[in-house]
Amino acid sequence: MRLDPLSLPVSFHAHDARADGFVRQVELHRERVVLHRAVRGMQMSVKLRVSDFLGIALRSVKDGEMLLLAHRDPSLNIPLCLTTDIDELACAWQLWSEVFALPMLQDCAREPAQRRRRRNVIRTRRPKFLLRRRTGALLDEAKNYRGEREMIARN
């Protein structure tokens, strides 16, 4: 797959793991990106400005190298080029970066967060937001009016 940055706007289908049929339609313009997909039968369109993306990222995949329009949300990444030719990849990477005025990123793949330890020593301590609160007794003791007459207005 190779898209030409000089022939924008372009519309194509891309893989989407969450969409119905695992396919989404992408409309790529110079200043915006429109994603059309259906999730559980509900049609949706997502419009994003190109400036909202992080940059043009290079990622290694099993079929070769891939150029992505990288976003903070990994589900919004858009594939631009998939090739095994290094020279073609370098030219395409530079061209996409110039067309969108976005930086060239080496790899946008994020490592998963470390698993939380449940049996932690600090677990039994007082939570941080409660440390700011004062503990203690009531300021005034409850008043006791034993033996006095109550004044209650009744009909």
DSSP 82: E
Question: For position 117, what pLDDT does the model report?
Answer: 60
Q: Which residue has the higher pLDDT, 146 or 154?
A: 146
Min mean pLDDT across 27-36, 90-99, 130-139 is at 130-139
Q: Say what the pLDDT of residue 15 is.
A: 87
At the second CATH level, the architecture of 7-105 is: Roll (2.30)
Torsion angles phi and psi, residue 27, rounded to 5 = -110, 120
Side-by-side strand order, sheet with 23-28: 10-15, 23-28, 32-39, 42-49
**Residue 37 pLDDT exceeds 60:** yes
Mean pLDDT of 33-51: 92
Quote the pLDDT of residue 18. Answer: 82
Given a cut of 90, whether residue 32 has pLDDT beyond it is yes
What integer pLDDT is reported at residue 53 of this predicted model? 92
Dist CA 141 CA 155 (whole Å): 33
The token duo for 127 is 């939570």
Domain spans in the chain, listed from the N-terminal domain onward: 7-105
Average pLDDT over residues 70-83: 88
Q: How many residues does the chain have?
A: 155
Distance of CA 87 to the CA centre of its chain: 32
Structure confidence at residue 154 (pLDDT):
67
Say if residues 35 and 26 touch (Cβ distance below 8 Å): yes
Coil vs helix vs strand at 104: strand
- Say which range, 5-9, 25-29, 58-62, 77-81, has the weakest mean pLDDT: 5-9
Beta-strand runs (E) in the chain: 10-15, 23-28, 32-39, 42-49, 55-61, 64-70, 78-83, 104-105
Q: What pLDDT was estimated at residue 74?
A: 85
The contacts of residue 101 (CB under 8 Å, 6+ apart) are none
